[in-house]
Structure 1
Amino acid sequence: MGHRTKPTLGLIGFGAFGKLMARELNALFDIRVCDPAYVGALLEDGRALAVVELSEIARCDVIVLSVPVARMEYLCTQIAPYLRPGCLVVDVSSVKVAPMQVMARCLPAAVDIVGTHPLFGPQSADGGVVGRKIAVCPLRGPRWRVVAGFLRRIGLQVVVTTPEAHDKEAATVQGLTHLIAKVLSDIGPLPDQMTTASFDLLKQAVEMVKNDPPTVLHAIETANPYAAEVRGAFFDRAAELRIQFDKQA
């Protein structure tokens, strides 16, 4: 048998963020992809990645789950019988409490599990991931420290946290950003001439998230257990301001 120079990484999900991960990690891992929506998996430079069945993906050294939160439980039950003892499973979900509860319940006890949330996306990391933030939530096994160290070596700022602490902050950081972006996008084209520096920054924020798939917004606003409270406070205050300004008009 030949000497394997790279560890294998099984990437489940080849959407926009899956492609970003493949681009950034291809030099460091032997990447295999599983996504029923894709017959082939190509990097931006035209290089092809191996597309394999779920049972083969599950036998990789590292398995990355890049799927909608709503699909997490089904996926974990499908890969669980094939996972090798000692392998490492990592998710990249934008919420952490629910997916990590699912992984803890559905994946074998002999598997190390680390929850992550890259705090960037394809638009904001178009020029590379160096300097971007990523949340790391240890769940099972000691190798979260290896994961955190690796992420730092490729230039990311690592924030080690718990699923609960992550979701509490994300309810405001992501919940309000995506909510405001959705409202502004639905209103119509935003002005592009008579703009101020602050409005240009607001437009930039909208541009970064407006093309995210609906599953991302759904997860942020419904799968995060703290989002409803933050969203309610925002709408309550907006309603108070509306009444106040209507009275003054």
Structure 2
Amino acid sequence: MKIGVIGFGRLGKLLVRNISQDASVAVFDINIDTDLVSSMGAKSVCLEEVCKSKILILCVPISKISEVANQIKDHITPDTLIIDVCSVKVYPMEELTKRLPENIQILGTHPMFGPDSAAKSLYGCKIVLCPERVSDKVLKDIQGYLESHGLKVIVSTAHEHDEQIAQTLILTHTIGRTLMDMNSMEMEIDTKGYRRLLKILETVENDSVQLFNDMNKYNPYAKKMRSSLSHSLSKVLASVEE
């Protein structure tokens, strides 16, 4: 089966490297290293060509989903399965459903791993599937494929995903960005607790500011999390200043 990938960033490279072991993979990106694509066992193609794939994975920033949907809508064929990998789900599912033809299947996914955490293997990593407009058979086949490669599959609605991810991923990134702004670093006189805290930096320091901003802008539950964090921090700080 031919699988297409639009977007060859850090996550796109990770997915292409793994998927090309099982399928013929075509990749499109505006700025792409064709030699690197070839070294991963894939092929660099134009937008029209990648849209001929029966499975098309969109590895693009959250803020680019609507733009990419408009670019591909006239090139994809009926029953094509469109998969996104955004770290929010409500917004991209709404945009893809609104902009793509009704005969196109849509599956939201969120790989709960990245180039750093899954550098050696995907085994044991989590991935969330949010069925939007996809047949039971296709969903079952995708889930079976992922589980056969050792991934833990979680099936969820887009809203359930975004509500929980605001309390886990976005909270973690917010704390990590705060530590980066404070120039937190390893020190000779420290504690195990502090060293564990610095581990958060390993999670966020290689991710872009755009990802952080997009997660906060497009997740409908992010503002509530930020308000809760701000309120609790203010309350804790006030308790020691009395």
Same-fold call, TM > 0.5? yes
Matched position secondary structure for 2:31: coil
Instruction: Work out which of the residue numbers 10, 15, 19 in structure 2 matches 1:16.
Output: 10
Corresponding residue pairs, total: 240
1:145 aligns with 2:121: no
Number of the residue aligned with 2:230: 235
1:155 aligns with 2:153: no
Quick check: 170-179 or 212-221, which moved more? 212-221
Number of the residue aligned with 1:99: 92
- State the shift of 1:97 in Å: 0.1
Name the Cα RMSD after superposition: 1.5
Q: Is the 8 A contact 1:41 1:50 kept in 2?
A: no
Number of the residue aligned with 1:119: 112
Which aligned segments of 4 or more residues in structure 1 are displaced greater than 4 angstroms? none
Instruction: Work out which of the residue numbers 175, 178, 181 in structure 2 matches 1:180.
Output: 175
Question: For 2:196 and 2:104, how far apart are their aligned partners in 1?
Answer: 43
- State the shift of 1:192 in Å: 4.1
Give the residue type in structure 2 aligned to 1:20. Answer: L
- State the shift of 1:9 in Å: 1.0
Unmatched tracts of structure 1, length 5 or more: 1-6
Percent identity over paired residues: 31
Number of the residue aligned with 1:204: 199
1:80 aligns with 2:83: no
Give the residue type in structure 2 aligned to 1:113. Answer: I
Number of the residue aligned with 2:26: 32
Instruction: Work out which of the residue numbers 80, 89, 112 in structure 1 matches 2:82.
Output: 89
Question: For 2:159 and 2:46, how far apart are their aligned partners in 1?
Answer: 34
Q: Is the 8 A contact 1:33 1:41 kept in 2?
A: no
Q: Is the 8 A contact 2:128 2:155 kept in 1?
A: yes
Change (3 A) 1:40 1:164: same
- State the shift of 1:76 in Å: 0.4
When normalised by structure 2's length, the TM-score is 0.94
Q: Is the 8 A contact 2:17 2:40 kept in 1?
A: no
